[in-house]
Amino acid sequence: MTSILKRDFKAYFTSPIGYIYIGSYIFVLNLVFYLNNALGNSASVSGVFGFMLLVMMFTTPILTMRVFSEEYKMKTDLLLLTTPVRTFDIVSGKFLSAQLVFVTLLALTLTWPAIISAFASNNVAEVIGNYAGMFFIGAAYIAMGIFISSLTENQVVAAVGSLGMFIGLYLLDVIHSFFYSNGAFPLWFMNALGSISVFGRYGSINSGILALDDVVFFISLTLLFLFLTARRWDRQRGFSIAITAIFIVGVVLVNIAATQLTTRFYLKADLSEQKFYTLSEQTIDVLRGIGEDVTITVLDKEAEWQNPEDLRYRLMETLNMYSSYSGGRVKVNYIDPDLNPRIKEQYPALTDVVSGDIIVESARRYTSVNAGNLFLWSYNNRNQPAPVAMDAEQKLTSALLYTLSDVTARAVFLEGHNESPTTALQALFETSNYEVETINLAHNDLPADTTVVICAAPKSDLLPLEMERLEAYMNSGGNTMIFYDMDTPKLPNLDLYIEEWGVSVSSELVLDPTYNFGYLYAIGAAVLAPEKLPSAESLDTVNKMAVMGGARPLTPLWPTGEREWRTSEPLVASWSTSYSKSFDSDNATAEKSPGDKEGPFILAMLTTDRGNVNLNPVTSRMLVSSYCLIDDTALGNSQYFINAQLLGVIANDFNPSGESVIIPVKVLAGSSMSIMSGQVRVIFFALVIAMPLIIFVAGGFVWRKRRSL
């Protein structure tokens, strides 16, 4: 085998074929890298590797067309057959020589990650995964091309036949995608068709997943065609249909077993930069602790979620992980509502369920999650939405916990005083498994099962009756959040009450020329992760700041932070570069002036009361902050700011059932390269012009030298 490998590998480079193959291939790929990465500033190699698979359909026949066809044409096949070398060694030697040429090509593309590393942070896992995937697919394509070459002595016919096979595999993927969605064929048939889709399997690798069943598929496909080639080449020594059939059946069974193992134990490596296909420890703990069956029903066509280029593919993989880590307790179904129009009637409590929703159901209760809400969106100047982050795990795990819990927390938002809107905060509480309602304390008492009361920037003071009801609730072990806006006036009743909790709200405004988000008043602040919040350890206080646009400083009234049974501590504070000032004067300016107070300032405080009711210990807590902590912009951009995480931690710790999780979002945008125009021109010259030209010149030199012999 070694001698054949050396002979054939040398033959590629003593003739123009190897140079034409590598030169044309590397020219096209380097051009795509230049356009996609150098000009596009992308630090991801997935785009150029995805294109490589398309180019491979047209370049692999050049590499394999002569492997056996030339042996037939030159009548050297009889010499090989009469040698004491085993048939499979002959086939293996020829295959390895062609594969070694392909590996040489891959080695030349190592310039891509090298360039990316020079200008950005390189995702090593993605690079290794794509190279591994391309290596296995290249081996499969080469094995198929060699098999076609073993069928004819005409190299052109071998090249066209190989190209036809590769295009046929591509069309299989197209046919599978088209007919899967319209239900023209049985589901088992379409699944079987999808299982042999080369493009579909590589699509998952290119999107960031290296799965055991995909690797086994490409290896078994390679071995299958090498086996068929050996049987074809060994036809003079006898051809056993039975042995061939047994081998094919064995390949099928191995792939079925690999698929089952991969699905059951989720044997997939996450190559993505943001770890889209890795669950947090919190979710894994929840899934492994499930003691009853849970059904997740996706109201959509499964085929719509199987395209690796679609965002829903990441959701599908997330649901697959839920099923695997739960040991099969979580079952995932896809139901097309167009084919099953009465499916929504099975969930009468879900009045607003639509196609695309995900229904999570246990024997106790059910809830729904909209697939679009599992992503965070931004809008351009044309008001067109674009996804910026993935929040699927937080919301799906919360929905799972809701269906398994017997206790429901309740968040009550006060109204009647022109409070500011709290859409994002209400959504955050709902995600944390709270039932949310709005109450006017002047007309109604608080429900007995109220978990937390939110008073969001009232423009008028609470009435004595309202204060009496609020105080009675707090004395029985309640939780309250009170937020002051920039224009919140003096509120004698409410101000006096929160002063009893050790906090005074200043009428000044905090500004910061160093830590801000474009405006002096839109300051960045540090979250202090207090000990009184057990879940605070999940906060990413190192990489994220709180955005506090229009914050009012708080003054702690107790020097030691404690008074009798109450303890107050800061939650959020500005940096030492901040300052505060009053804008009462007509001549006030935002710039720092003599007499302005210098920071840091406390911007949010939490006071804990440890008392008792009828000799039973109870704990009450009051959070006081500026409204900017909870406005929609701050909470809706959790990929940048820590506000949503902080409020989620508080909601988690206020929840009596403790059935909630705090999981950071995953940003969709990958790393980008910072590259100058001059450097881009150097890359173009080196990769697109110089490298292919050198290869072609070397090939021309070899060709000319052979003609002169």
- Residue 584, pLDDT score: 66
Mean pLDDT of 529-558: 82
pLDDT higher than threshold 80 for residue 410? yes
Share the mean pLDDT of the chain. 87
Higher pLDDT, 579 or 67: 579
- What tokens were used for 115? 């360039």
Cβ(237)–Cβ(88) below 8 Å: no
Residue with tokens 């491979």: 56
- Residue 253, pLDDT score: 93
Distance of CA 693 to the CA centre of its chain: 40
- Residue 483, pLDDT score: 96
- Residue 633, pLDDT score: 87
Band of pLDDT at residue 236, cut at 50, 70 and 90: very low
**pLDDT tens, residue by residue, 580-595:** 988 665 556 778 888 8
- Measured distance CA(28)–CA(62) in Å, rounded: 15
- Residue 665, pLDDT score: 86
For 18-38, the DSSP string reads HHHHHHHHHHHHHHHHIIIII
Higher pLDDT, 503 or 303: 503
- Residue 491, pLDDT score: 94
Helix (H) or strand (E) holding 136: helix 124-149
How is residue 684 annotated by DSSP? I
pLDDT higher than threshold 60 for residue 192? yes
- Residue 340 DSSP SS3: coil
pLDDT higher than threshold 70 for residue 182? no
CA nearest to 417, candidates 441, 451, 452: 441
Half-sphere exposure of 558 (CA within 13 A, CB side): 20
- Measured distance CA(223)–CA(229) in Å, rounded: 10
- Residue 610, pLDDT score: 86
- Residue 515, pLDDT score: 92
- Measured distance CA(322)–CA(331) in Å, rounded: 8
- Measured distance CA(409)–CA(660) in Å, rounded: 10
- Residue 7, pLDDT score: 80
Percent of the chain predicted with pLDDT > 90: 42
CA nearest to 263, candidates 340, 327, 324, 219: 324
For 536-572, the DSSP string reads GGG--TTT-BEEEET---EEES-TTSEETTEEEEEEE
**pLDDT tens, residue by residue, 595-648:** 889 989 999 999 999 877 776 788 899 999 999 999 988 998 888 899 998 998
Sheet containing 375-379: give its strands across: 375-379, 385-390, 666-667
Half-sphere exposure of 295 (CA within 13 A, CB side): 12
Residue with tokens 């109870």: 618
- Residue 706, pLDDT score: 72
- What tokens were used for 284? 């894994």
pLDDT higher than threshold 70 for residue 524? yes
- Measured distance CA(521)–CA(245) in Å, rounded: 75
95-99, 178-182, 196-200, 353-357: which range is least confident on average? 178-182
